[in-house]
Amino acid sequence: MNTTTSGTIMDELTAGAISPKDIVEELIGKIDIADASFQLTLFFIAFNPIFWNIIARLEHSTHFLTQLAGNNAKRGCYILAIIIFSLGIGRDMVFQETLNHQESSVLLELPLIRNLGVASFLIGQLLVITSMYQLGITGTYLGDYFGILMNERVTGFPFNVSNNPMYHGSTLSFLGTSLYFAKPSGVAITAFVYMMYCIALRFEEPFTAAIYAKRDAGKLSKNI
C-alpha cells in the first residue's frame, strides 16, 4: 500500500480502493514480534495474573503472607497489593517502551481513530479508578483470599455496567493508548491482555464465589 497521509487513506477507504487484505497486511506488517520489549511485554501480561492467582491461593490455603505480616490479614493483603501494583507499573513501562520501538500505521493515524483512542483510555481509567474506590485496597487486591470479606456485593457504578470493571478498564486503557499512538503492535498486545484476563477470570470467579458461599453458609466469618 503506497498511501502516506491520513487524508489520502480516508479518500481511498471511502472509494473502496483499499481492500480488507491490504488493511490486514498493512497492520500486521507493522508488528515486530522479534522486538525484545514486545516479547517482554507479553511476558509481563501473562505472568502478572498467573502470579497473583498462585500467591493468593497459597495465602488462602497456608496464610503465609498473613503470618509474614505478624498474623495480620489486612497487612498481608497490603503486601500483596504493593507487589501487584509494582508488577503493573513494570508492565506498563515495558508496554510504553514497546510502543516507542514499534512502527505506526497510517491506517490508525486518522483523526477518528485517534479520538476513539482518547475516549477508550478515559473510559478505561474511569472504570479502574471508580472500581478501586468502591472496593478499597483489600477488595481490589484479593482481600477475600485473606478472609477479608465484603459485607455485601457492590452493585453501584461501575459494577452496574461491568462485572469486572478493573479488567475491562485496564483492557480499554491499553487499547486507547495503542490507538492514540497508531501502533498495530499495541492493538495486538491489547488482544493478548483481554485473553489473559478472560483466562484469569475462569479461575478467580468460581474460587471467589466458593469463598462467599462458605461465608453465607456460616463456615466463615465476616471480617469487614
As annotated, the binding site for S-adenosyl-L-methionine includes: 122-124, 204-205
What angle separates helix 111-140 from helix 165-180, to the nearest 10 degrees?
150
Q: How far is CA 208 from CA 33, 86, 145, 153, 169, in A?
A: 36, 23, 8, 12, 20
- Give the C-alpha separation, 109 to 18, whole Å: 16
Neighbouring CB atoms inside 10 A of 99's CB total 20
Please give the distance of CA 147 from its chain centroid, rounded to a whole number: 25
Nearest to residue 182, comparing CAs of 114, 115, 127, 133? 114
- Give the C-alpha separation, 36 to 174, whole Å: 19
Nearest to residue 185, comparing CAs of 34, 15, 13, 81? 34
Binding-site residue set:
122-124, 204-205
